[in-house]
Amino acid sequence: MARGRRPGLLAALTPDEPPALRRAAVEALGPLGHLPAVPALVTLAGDEEEPPPCGRAVTALGRIGGGEAIPVLLGAARSNSETLRLRAAETLVSFRTEEVITALTDLAADAEPKTAEAAVDSLARIGPRQPPLPARAGARHSPGPAGTPALPAVRPGQGRTRPR
């Protein structure tokens, strides 16, 4: 890099840039939600030879989202690296798929207490899976034949438990 010239955030992710600049770029891209950064972050997240940038890339991918991020985050959840499993447990909450719920459930039994706790927190934030609204509403509230109301009519005075 020429002296005095500063690369853009995406260019700062290349291996020939100083580690401090790469780290700062990764940390900035997550909160920015910069989708064009996903391919570069996927590459960086797959490089377990460099754990700090790799872990930060996993976190950034979780914050940015995008379909390309899910396989990388699921891979991090299965990693031998405690740091990557922890980062995956913290960031998978952004994706509510069956695969993610399964991965978080597995991470909830992780030998590392911080990772297990993060996975449980993520599962709690995802919340219980709910059936579609008509199934939850019950038979008496399900849509009726064409032209009839989906919910029963309420008449004045119905539902009161005590007089006014």
Mean pLDDT of 87-106: 92
Q: List the structure tokens of 21.
A: 């600049």
Share of the chain above pLDDT 70, in %: 70
Could you write out the DSSP letters of every residue in 113-145?
A: HHHHHHHHHHHHHH------HHHHH-GGGS--S
Decide: helix, strand or coil at residue 61: helix
- Of 60-64, 104-108, 114-118, give the lowest mean pLDDT range: 60-64
Whole-number pLDDT of residue 153:
52
d(CA 123, CA 100): 9
Decide: helix, strand or coil at residue 153: coil
**pLDDT digits 0-9 by tens, 119-146:** 999 999 988 765 555 544 554 444 545 5
Whole-number pLDDT of residue 65:
83
Whole-number pLDDT of residue 142:
46
**pLDDT digits 0-9 by tens, 14-63:** 888 888 888 888 888 888 888 888 888 888 887 766 656 778 888 898 88
The pTM for the full model equals 0.67
Confirm or reject CATH 1.25.10.10 for domain 11-129, answering yes or no: yes
